[in-house]
Amino acid sequence: MEESELHKGFRKTGSGMFVPRDQSQNWCRHFGVRKDKTLYLREEEVLYLRDKEAKEGYPTKTKAYFFVKNSGYNLLPGEGGRFLLYRKHKDFNREKDKAICLMKYVSRDECIQDVCRDAGDEALCVLSDDVFTFLKIRRVERLDSSTPEGLKKRDAPSP
């Protein structure tokens, strides 16, 4: 099987993840997930490592990933299909740096209420066929006088 130029330097696993053939350097510290001393990358991470500009034919999710990376953030896999969003800096360390929030990709057709039912502060990347947008979800613990009037629940008028 001939290796594509795009994936040269990586071995594709049965699960669709990519493993760098040379893991002796720290060049991928802003990417992937490490398990048993092996670094696993998603395809959009491999594409980003090859060229920082999203191509026209890329899926919307991949374009959204490029937007996040090019906006100064790191996006690393977390638990339950969610990602951890970090500020990007030259001394980034996934063990020591604190994530800004969790992020999840959702389809425009998904019910947002179901997606964020158990979430605290979280970002959602809503994907359409050819565009994406980001929503920041914040948990409101208690409504009080500091809550804007437009967000307060009103009693229904009695008949």
Ordered domains of the chain (ranges, CATH): 10-139 (3.40.1350.150)
For residue 153, pLDDT over 90 is answered with no
Per-residue pLDDT of 56-76, as tens digits, reads 899 999 999 999 999 999 999
Residues 47 and 6 sit within 8 Å (Cβ to Cβ): yes
Alpha helices in the chain (DSSP H): 43-50, 60-70, 112-115
User: In degrees to the nearest 10, what's the CA dihedral of 33, 36, 37, 41?
Assistant: -30
CA angle 103–104–105, rounded 5-degree value: 135
Model pTM?
0.76
